[in-house]
């Protein structure tokens, strides 16, 4: 694989694993919150240290098959807490933090909201927030720039796991506490070069989506599956879990066409060819939110509004389609703002010299028309945008 190909794959996968949400924020409060609407209070609760944390809308399984890039076994975000005494120690430290993202997007805004709220509560000053627009050189420059501001902790993400070994070395050498969101540099070790890796329940995303397909089709029927054609642990785990759950729990559902997608820009063509080959399919799995938009376009162009679309990640365009009773039947989501809260708390572990779990995850949960409002609130901490709510998306 060429260097260019590696960078493109890293950019695409970093985007999708962090939630390829096509949310349209239309005002300042929406932008700050990450996704439209007014703040919702009943989705948060105090943790043992008094910090606001998000309540999972589903029961957390006793175990998960999700593993990190080096085989790390994760713990649930609820196990990542500070005591009241530790909160006071952090507040007394006059610490400084920087946020170094790979892109600026509604989903990253939601993560940033979580980091900012938690660090405000901990008395940690955020000295800089940057976005690299998926350019690895820009990311490296941003890391060097924020280091001049002398942060004690950096919340960040790697774009190219190989190249970013060098990108973050200056921070490691300066003793800055690094916390990575989902993607870390290759061969970096928790407790050594960085504090912790925070992401979401990858297997849970696949399991929930498979259950949605099984329930939506009544346990039988023919479906198509579009999968992301890349050797990347995030998408690999999601799709493996989806396939295994379908096979083990819903033997009456047959995947009659499983098609790779290397270029997300061509997903509409992939879907169009699939439904032409198999006009009897009842549903299509799309690997993430914006890919599902292409599938919906292909179905609409073919006049096939009878085919359901199931995907991962919650976004505005598909939420509106769902609210209208359209082709999007289910989107599996996660706690986006809590993702940011957990990143921030992990950083505080590093500042205190407290050993953090190598990998921390937030849960996956299904969002359908029946619970769209609640799913949106749990994901972003705000109410549904008015256009979606008006279209019939008030299900709880």
Q: Which CATH number is 300's domain given?
A: 3.40.50.2300
d(Cα 372, Cα 366) in Å, to the nearest integer? 9
Determine the structural domain holding residue 342 and report its residue range.
3-201+335-364
How many folded domains does the chain comprise? Answer: 2
Statement to judge: residues 259 and 141 lie in one domain: no
Statement to judge: residues 302 and 350 lie in one domain: no
pLDDT tens, 343-375?
Answer: 999 999 999 999 999 999 999 999 999 999 999
For the segment 380-396, the average pLDDT, to the nearest whole number, is 88
Note the pLDDT of residue 9: 52
Note the pLDDT of residue 36: 58
Closest CA to 259 of 213, 217, 295: 295
Of all residues in the chain, what percent carry a pLDDT higher than 70? 91
Statement to judge: residues 186 and 321 lie in one domain: no
Statement to judge: residues 174 and 323 lie in one domain: no
149 or 11, which is more confident: 149
User: Does residue 328 fall inside a structural domain?
Assistant: yes
Statement to judge: residues 323 and 181 lie in one domain: no
DSSP 195: S
Indicate whether 126 pLDDT > 90.
yes
Give me 1's structure tokens.
């694989």
Statement to judge: residues 326 and 339 lie in one domain: no
Statement to judge: residues 290 and 300 lie in one domain: yes
User: Does residue 259 fall inside a structural domain?
Assistant: yes
User: Does residue 174 fall inside a structural domain?
Assistant: yes
pLDDT tens, 208-248?
Answer: 999 999 999 999 999 999 999 887 778 889 999 999 999 99
Statement to judge: residues 174 and 235 lie in one domain: no
Give me 317's structure tokens.
């365009």
Give me 245's structure tokens.
């759950």
| DSSP string over 63-109 | ------TT-PPPEEGGG----HHHHHHHHTTT-EEEEEES---HHHH
Statement to judge: residues 151 and 229 lie in one domain: no
pLDDT tens, 192-208?
Answer: 999 999 999 999 999 99
User: Does residue 395 fall inside a structural domain?
Assistant: no
Statement to judge: residues 197 and 227 lie in one domain: no
pLDDT tens, 157-178?
Answer: 999 999 999 999 999 999 999 9
Statement to judge: residues 190 and 232 lie in one domain: no
The contacts of residue 306 (CB under 8 Å, 6+ apart) are 282
Element at 192 (helix H, strand E): none
pLDDT tens, 66-75?
Answer: 999 999 999 9
User: Does residue 396 fall inside a structural domain?
Assistant: no
d(Cα 58, Cα 60) in Å, to the nearest integer? 6
Q: What angle do CA 192, 194, 199 make, to 5 degrees?
A: 135
């Amino acid at each position: 694989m060429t260097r260019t190909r590696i960078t493109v794959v890293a950019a695409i996968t970093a985007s999708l694993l962090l939630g390829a949400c096509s949310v349209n924020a239309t005002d300042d409060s929406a932008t700050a919150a990450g996704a439209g609407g007014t703040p919702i209070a009943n989705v948060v609760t105090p943790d043992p240290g008094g910090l606001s944390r998000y309540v999972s809308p589903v029961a957390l399984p006793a175990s998960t098959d999700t593993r990190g890039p080096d085989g790390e076994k994760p713990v649930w975000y609820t196990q990542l807490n500070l005591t009241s005494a530790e909160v006071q120690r952090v507040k007394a430290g006059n610490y400084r933090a920087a946020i170094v993202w790979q892109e600026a997007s509604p989903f990253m805004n939601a993560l940033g909201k979580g980091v900012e709220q938690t660090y405000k509560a901990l008395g940690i000053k955020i000295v800089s927030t940057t976005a690299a627009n998926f350019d690895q050189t820009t990311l490296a420059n941003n890391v060097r720039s924020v280091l001049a501001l002398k942060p004690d902790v950096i919340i960040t993400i790697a774009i190219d796991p190989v190249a970013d070994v060098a990108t973050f070395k200056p921070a490691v050498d300066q003793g800055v506490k690094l916390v990575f969101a989902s993607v870390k540099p290759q061969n970096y070790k928790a407790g050594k070069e960085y504090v912790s890796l925070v992401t979401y329940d990858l297997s849970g995303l696949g399991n929930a989506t498979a259950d949605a397909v099984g329930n939506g089709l009544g346990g039988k029927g023919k479906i198509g599956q579009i999968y992301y054609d890349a050797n990347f642990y995030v998408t690999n785990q999601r799709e493996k879990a989806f396939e295994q759950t379908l096979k083990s729990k819903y033997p009456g559902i047959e995947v009659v066409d499983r098609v790779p997608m290397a270029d997300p820009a061509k997903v509409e063509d992939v879907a169009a060819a699939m439904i032409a080959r198999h006009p009897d399919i009842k549903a299509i799995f799309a690997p993430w939110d914006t890919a599902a938009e292409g599938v919906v376009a292909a179905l609409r162009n073919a006049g096939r509004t009878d085919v359901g679309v199931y995907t991962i990640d919650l976004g505005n365009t598909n939420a509106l389609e769902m609210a209208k009773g359209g082709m999007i039947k289910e989107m599996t989501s996660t706690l986006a703002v809590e993702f940011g809260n957990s990143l921030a708390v992990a950083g505080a572990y590093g500042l205190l010299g407290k050993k953090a779990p190598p990998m921390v995850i937030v849960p996956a949960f299904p969002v359908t028309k029946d619970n769209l409002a609640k799913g949106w609130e749990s994901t972003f901490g705000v109410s549904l945008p008015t256009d979606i709510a008006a279209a019939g998306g008030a299900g709880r």
